[in-house]
């Protein structure tokens, strides 16, 4: 048997080896390659949240105060409509579903960069112009606002009525070690944030609640709240509107005309609530550096939550928030290219959702009439437009509610609105909205001092303060001016008046005059001299009024509309004090006899 010769060709050897490897590989089990890891937030996932921390930041009385209270895992936490309410109940489960959303935000969001942009906007009165490469569109996990339980959980997280058992924990100073232990009023001043985290600490929710005005939620209102709110939420510092609005600047020059240069100067004072919320946000991100941050807020806290969302690019869900588009523009918040600076309501992809109902005048921007509670409290709430998406429950149409402040509180919103509807309100952008429509704003050279009176305009259009001083001597002032034939308009006047008057004394006054037969008369002479020193070389004018003699009328019975009733008895006058001249009638008796 002949042996098969060996293959000497190199190409044939390579081909044989390749066929052998393929044959062996086909017989072996081929392992499946693993798929690329997917993000756990692509599909809607459910998260369970619990209260972890409570932050408190001072605003006016204690602006440097910053405290934190850590809540243990198994601590008993209750909810109530008020902080001192007796009918408290345990906090229900806080579950929320997430979904992916696109948010346009800045590339660099560190503290120094944001503070520099805000300082520029605060000093210039408008946002800084940023290039397109400074912005990015990121896909982030956010709350699913189409899920009813998610909206309900965010409303509960936005509430401030959380009560802890006594001795649960102690407040810890995180803002520099300031000791305010002896002052029991520090808890009523400032911004409070409740920090919720899920079981994996991958998502954190910051629920903000400010010290609201008295007509909103309590009696802890201050004058500083009115100054802060009327600067940012009114068209022109509370001017040109209702009489009870507190005016916090003097920038109105005419009807529905406001000096924007003057307004920017007034706005340079930092918004205490917004900057307190910034410090609170930075402390939370230091505790949870790798977590996604969501915001929740109610009323004024909802507006501040929206400010943080627009600044740092995080999702937010608010309830009955004050319309915040105009104050966001006045804060100088960054605006992406392609959007008109000052029209924050036209921004897209903000991640903001604002829930409210049509019977709430604050949410609808109607709390500015003469009889509204906001006006009575001195607040000029003229802003109308919201940023992002507006989610409105039509309670006026569906339930027949009347517009009133009574349904603004978060407890009523949860009980009477969110729980009554089967589905959450539809969220949609409200772009075609204009704040302060009849107002006109103009910029000036910055030298104006606007007051209630103006001098004649000059070529430099500089408004000056003027005042009027009345120096003329008027003897007979009238409703529309002086009734004298001529007046003296000098700065210094010396007048001398000699008057002689005669008065009568009545011992028995009556309804229609004096009942005395001869009233006693007294004559008195009064000399009055009024002089004021005249600075040289001013002209001094001396006026000497003629002596006037005035005597009372000799009429004993004056009438109601002038004239004298002497000669006739006045009506209703008793004649008991005068001798009667009427003869007394004599009675005559006639006797008839029959003849």
Radius of gyration of the chain (CA): 42
Among left, alpha and beta (phi > 0; psi -120 to 50; other), residue 375 is alpha
Query: Measured between alpha carbons, how far apart are the two ends of the chain, in Å?
Result: 211
Cα 76 to its chain centre, rounded Å, is 35
DSSP 341-357: TT-GGG--S--EEEEEE
* Whole-number Cα distances in Å, 492 to 342, 450, 473, 483, 540: 55, 31, 10, 21, 6
400 three-state secondary structure = coil
133 with 337: CB under 8 angstroms? no
How far is residue 271's CA from residue 121's CA, in Å, rounded to a whole number?
A: 13
Strands (E), 91-202: 94-106, 135-143, 162-164, 172-173, 191-198
CA distance 317 to 298: 9
Q: By the 8 A CB rule, do 294 and 143 touch?
A: yes
For the chain, give percent helix, strand, coil, nearest 5. 20, 25, 55
- DSSP structural state of residue 313: T
Phi, psi angle pair for 495, to nearest 5°: -125, 145
Catalytic residues: 299
What value, to the nearest 5°, has the Cα angle with vertex 453 and ends 449 and 458?
65
Residue 497 CB neighbour total at 10 angstroms:
16
Tokens of 8: 């000497």
C-beta atoms surrounding 424 within 10 Å: 20
Q: Are 49 and 153 in contact (CB under 8 A)?
A: yes
- DSSP of 185-197, one letter per residue? TGGGSSEEEEEEE
């Amino acid at each position: 048997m002949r042996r098969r010769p060996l293959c000497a060709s190199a190409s044939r050897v390579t081909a044989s080896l390749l066929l052998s490897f393929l044959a062996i590989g086909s017989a072996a089990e081929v392992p499946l390659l693993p798929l690329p890891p997917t993000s756990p937030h692509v599909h809607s996932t459910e998260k369970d949240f619990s209260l972890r921390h409570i932050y408190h930041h001072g605003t006016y009385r204690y602006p440097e105060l910053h405290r934190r209270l850590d809540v243990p895992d198994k601590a008993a936490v209750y909810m109530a409509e008020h902080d001192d309410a007796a009918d408290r109940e345990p906090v229900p489960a806080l579950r929320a579903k997430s979904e992916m959303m696109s948010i346009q935000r800045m590339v660099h969001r560190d503290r120094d960069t944001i503070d520099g942009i805000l300082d520029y906007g605060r000093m210039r009165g408008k946002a800084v112009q940023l290039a397109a490469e400074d912005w990015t569109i990121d896909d982030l996990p956010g709350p699913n606002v189409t899920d009813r339980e998610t909206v309900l959980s965010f409303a509960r997280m936005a509430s401030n009525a959380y009560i802890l058992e006594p001795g649960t924990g102690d407040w810890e100073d995180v803002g520099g070690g300031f000791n305010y232990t002896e002052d029991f009023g520090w808890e009523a001043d400032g911004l409070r944030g409740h920090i919720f985290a899920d079981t994996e600490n991958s998502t954190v929710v910051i629920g903000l609640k400010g010290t609201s005005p008295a007509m909103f939620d309590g009696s802890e209102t201050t004058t500083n709240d009115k100054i802060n709110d009327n600067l940012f939420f009114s068209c022109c510092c509370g001017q040109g509107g209702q009489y009870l609005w507190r005016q916090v600047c003097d920038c109105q020059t005419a009807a529905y005309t406001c000096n924007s240069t003057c307004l920017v100067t007034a706005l340079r004072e930092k918004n205490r609530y917004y900057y307190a919320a910034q410090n609170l946000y930075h402390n939370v991100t230091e505790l949870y550096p790798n977590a996604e941050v969501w915001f929740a807020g109610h009323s004024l806290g909802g507006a501040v939550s929206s400010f943080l969302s627009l600044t740092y690019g995080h999702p937010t869900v608010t309830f009955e928030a004050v319309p915040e588009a105009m104050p966001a523009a006045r804060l100088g918040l960054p605006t992406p290219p392609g959007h008109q600076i000052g029209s924050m309501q036209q921004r897209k992809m903000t991640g903001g959702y604002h829930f409210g109902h049509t019977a709430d005048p604050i949410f609808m921007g109607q709390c500015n009439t003469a009889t509204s509670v906001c006006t009575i409290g001195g607040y000029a709430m003229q802003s109308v437009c919201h940023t992002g998406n507006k989610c409105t429950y039509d309670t006026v149409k569906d339930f027949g509610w009347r517009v009133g402040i009574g349904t603004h509180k978060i407890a009523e919103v949860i009980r009477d609105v969110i729980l009554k509807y089967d589905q959450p309100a539809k969220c949609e952008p409200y772009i075609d909205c204009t704040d302060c429509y009849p107002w006109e704003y103009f910029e000036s050279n910055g030298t104006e001092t606007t007051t209630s009176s103006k001098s004649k305009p000059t070529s430099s259009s500089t408004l000056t303060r003027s005042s009027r001083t009345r120096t003329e001597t008027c003897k007979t002032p009238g409703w529309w001016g002086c009734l004298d034939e001529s007046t003296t308009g000098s700065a210094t006047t010396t007048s001398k008046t000699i008057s002689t008057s005669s008065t009568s004394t009545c011992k028995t006054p009556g309804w229609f005059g004096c009942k005395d037969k001869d009233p006693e008369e007294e004559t008195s002479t009064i000399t009055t001299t009024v002089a004021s020193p005249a600075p040289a070389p001013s002209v001094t004018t001396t006026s000497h009024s003629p002596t006037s003699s005035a005597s009372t009328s000799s009429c004993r019975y004056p009438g109601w509309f002038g004239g004298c009733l002497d000669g006739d008895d006045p009506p209703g006058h008793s004649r008991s004090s005068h001798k009667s001249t009427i003869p007394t009638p004599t009675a005559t008796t006639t006797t008839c006899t029959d003849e």
